[in-house]
Amino acid sequence: MNPIVLKFGGYQEPASVHNRAAERFGTLLREKLGDRVAFELIGSVLKLGLGSGDLVPMVERGELSLCYMSTVRFSKAAPSLQLLELPFVVKDLPTVFRALDGAYGTEAAHSIDENTRCRVLGFWDNGFRHLANRVRPIRKPQDCRGLRIRTQASALHGEVFRALGFEPIVCDVKDFVEQIGTDRFQAHDNALTNIYNFGVYHHHRYITLSGHFWGASAMVCNAAHYRGWPKDVQAAVDAAASEATAYQRQLAAAEDAGILAKLDPAKNEVITLTDAERGAFMKAVEPVLDKYRKLLGSKLFAYLENA
């Protein structure tokens, strides 16, 4: 009997917390199901000439069985996920994980299941995002003015960066990594793990620990594939996904300190904001927050305030 082929796609380096968690997922499946499954991790589709934005369509078409992807890519299918695209709304990890593992995450996963060909298996930690740039230290919103910043495919992120004075440019991570050494981008925002693993720190001397966004990634599989698997395979996938999710979050929690320890102070200046400096950034983006409190409704915000 031919094994069930499971191809898991990613867009990061082998050392990334995402790919290490994906590998753990595959190991758990092999331990549980043996030669009934053939698991393959394609850790970086960027190395195949594809963009990170190709992953979800590949899963929907069935070319891949699974992938991980920023929830920014799912906010049209699940508008409630726009909450996680707002600045400074995630105060701590225990609260946001309770929300994602509870009613908020269930609601978002249901919307993705209903409006795409994907099935959500878990929500991963995509990190607090910080500002990196090649021009000057950023300590206040005025320091952002006029800088061209690479952003994810999120109109909401664009609004936030314009409120800070940046000139946002939407760009897939593939093109960004290829062009980081050029003048197209002067700044970008990302989690420290990506600033390091994508080699951005070689080009952007200044890293401001702003923590302006926190991001989640969705681990998803092709819904039709899932429905076609035997019940015990479905159960094994669910269990392995749950354990891989816990493992990924554990890795991510320890990642920032490890990355900061690797940076050479002679080559990178890490700026830690004072409470007053951070408050100035929060004040600058308050109009965007006010707008989306009205559009999204207070119930969504309550998930992160009282989860």
The pLDDT tens digits for 219-239 are: 999 999 999 999 999 999 999
> Where does the pLDDT of residue 183 fall: very low under 50, low under 70, confident under 90, or very high at 90 and above?
confident
Does residue 25 have a pLDDT over 90? yes
The pLDDT tens digits for 235-281 are: 999 999 999 999 999 999 999 999 999 999 999 999 999 999 999 99
Does residue 181 have a pLDDT over 90? no
Residue 143: what pLDDT?
Answer: 98
- CA 90 to mean position of chain CA atoms: 14
Q: Average pLDDT, whole number, for the chain?
A: 96
Fold of 4-306: D-Maltodextrin-Binding Protein; domain 2 (3.40.190)
Does residue 206 have a pLDDT over 90? yes
The pLDDT tens digits for 63-75 are: 999 999 999 999 9
The pLDDT tens digits for 134-152 are: 999 999 999 999 999 999 9
Beta bridge partners of 155: none
